Amino acid sequence: MIYFKPYIIKNKTIKHMYFIINICTLVCMVLLILFNLFFINFPQWIVWYVGILSIIQNILYQLLFKTKWITKIILPVIFTIIAVFASLFVYCFPYWNSSSFKILERTPLNYDDTISYKQAADDLETAMYYLEKTHPMFQDGLSAIIEERYANALKRLEQMQTITVNDLRREIQVVINPMHDAHTTTYNNFPRNKYLKDAYQKGEEGYVFYSLNGYTSSEIIEAAKPYYSYESENWISVNYSNLSSLEFYGYVAPYTFEWKDANGNIVTQTYTLDDFVSLEEYEEFIKSYFELPDEEEETPFVYYEIDEEKSVAILTLTQCEYNGVYRNCVKKMFQEVKEKNIKNVAVDVRGNGGGDSRVANEFIKYLSVYRFTDCPSDWRWRFLTISDNGYRKNTPYKNLLFEGNVYVLTNRKSFSAAMDFAQIIQDNKLGKVVGEPPANDANGYGEIVVFSLPNTGISLQISTKKWYRIDADNVSDYVIPDYPCKGDEVLSKLYSII
């Protein structure tokens, strides 16, 4: 009969060292999550393996060394809880293996590089995996239409004699197009992209794009719809000076452009591939042609102007960046508003593509309101949903409270957090919106996570949150301005109101 004698190791030094190693293994498991978030991608099973190893080490610790009875109960429970929690966290965490908070050293392939069918199918499968894992729309699995489009995309790729990175990106866009989620999309970050050298010059000469190879701008936008992620058609745009974009939408050289000036005069110009240059050459061409200084002073993303005669301050916000620069600018503006007894404040978010929605929350601190509702949301963590009713307690800056009229100026390119800004002000009845409806749905999706597909390096961003309209009684999916007008007429409309 084999008899197992417990506590076979009685050396206290070894016991202490083993316990420290056990703790280090558990800490390592937690650190791996941070390492994945900020430095390098690796499989989930590595964290799970370390967690299992930690639990086994703890079991051996109880068997090999004599411990107090309370240690025998509490220690295994603590180790097991931490290991299980970390394992579930990794499984549900939407940012796992994302490139949202780290720069991957690997250079993506160019748009015209060729890949094998196996590489294309693997990247497409990876895209579908991330989509099903992350997007709130697919809590119960991919929808039938997405599954069908995925299968058809694989068939089309298999039938291609040559597959380029652009071909794969186009197929991904076709698959996700029915979602009508402008935040879920691929975007080009190609290392050897080229740009039309003449485009900047034509703009400076007062010309705007009119047609390409006989197709007008509206016809090109219409043809681009099946390959574009959008909610409002106003969001669709094609970069005519970008070679990868032109080829993505099926336009090949030579390119016959028509440019139109303010008087309706049209100039026709034909370009070959030689007229497209690298980004570095394009920037150097602009500097040399217009004799620009080597170091231009960048236009700030936030600034304000005050018209004392009209008693209006206009805060221009080109990006929704929540940082010290923004906070200081807003504070300085309201200080001057108070000193000059300004009666109207407007926030111009025309052309603002979004960012951090906290910019609106900071602005509201200067208004006489102690509670307001931010955009309610459901945040998906795999099979879990973290809900936020949007209720916020405001802590106003009482010495700088503004009691006058508030306006938000929008156009068709106001997107994401810029749309949120307009919605928060309108739906909380804190002010009025002037301009065009912003580009995305108030009952849409957002809070993106970005992934890099393994073979091509194509960047795929996916929404993780479902947003809901602040004013649940408002049946419109879009923020409809209180004072509608064209985007380029917003300022004149504002002045007519005040």
Quote the pLDDT of residue 18: 84
Q: 10 vs 448, which has greater pLDDT? A: 448
What is the architecture, at CATH level 2, of domain 302-442+478-497? Alpha-Beta Complex (3.90)
Report whether pLDDT(4) > 80.
Answer: no
Please write the tens of the pLDDT for every residue from 57-67: 888 888 888 87
Predicted TM-score of the model (pTM): 0.91
Query: Over 60: is that where the pLDDT of 293 sits?
Result: no
Local confidence band at 335 (pLDDT 50, 70, 90 cut-offs): very high
Look at residue 173 in the predicted model and tell me its pLDDT.
Answer: 98
Counting residues of the chain whose pLDDT is more than 70, the rounded percentage is 96
- For residue range 114-126, list pLDDT tens digits in order: 999 999 999 999 9
What end-to-end distance do the CA atoms of the chain give, in Å?
97
| pLDDT the model gives residue 7 | 60
Any idea what the Cα angle at residue 311 is, between residues 310 and 316, rounded to 5°?
95
Where would I find the H helices in 214-273?
217-224, 243-248
Please say if the pLDDT value at position 3 is more than 50: no
Q: Give the DSSP per-residue string, 356-373.
A: -THHHHHHHTTBS-SEEE
291 confidence band (pLDDT: 50, 70, 90): low
Q: Please check the confidence at residue 289 and state whether its pLDDT lies above 70.
A: no
Which comes out higher in pLDDT, residue 372 or 293? Answer: 372
% helix, strand, coil for the chain, step of 5: 45, 20, 40
- pLDDT for 1 equals 45
**pLDDT higher than 50, residue 392:** yes
pLDDT at 298 over 50: yes
Q: Tell me, what's the pLDDT at 5?
A: 52
Reply yes or no on whether the pLDDT at 401 is more than 80.
yes
- At residue 59, the pLDDT reads 85
Is the link from the previous residue into 108 a cis peptide, with omega within 30 of 0? no
Q: Which helix (H) or strand (E) holds 406?
A: strand 405-410
- Domains of the chain by residue range: 12-92, 194-289, 302-442+478-497
Confidence of residue 2 (pLDDT cuts 50, 70, 90): very low
Model confidence pLDDT, tens digit, residues 67-121: 777 777 888 888 889 999 999 999 999 999 999 999 888 889 999 999 999 999 9
Note the pLDDT tens digit of each residue in 414-472: 999 999 999 999 999 999 999 999 999 999 999 999 999 999 999 999 999 999 999 99
pLDDT tens column, 168-205: 999 999 999 999 999 999 998 899 999 998 998 898 88
pLDDT at site 172: 98
pLDDT, residue 189, reads 82
The 8-class DSSP code of residue 355 comes to B
Other C-beta atoms lying within 10 Å of the C-beta of residue 329:
18
Mean pLDDT of the chain: 93
pLDDT band at 390 (very low <50, low <70, confident <90, very high): very high
CA nearest 463: which of 37, 41, 103, 131?
Answer: 131
pLDDT tens digits, residue range 22-54? 889 989 998 999 999 999 999 999 999 999 999
Q: Residues 315-331: what's their mean pLDDT?
A: 97
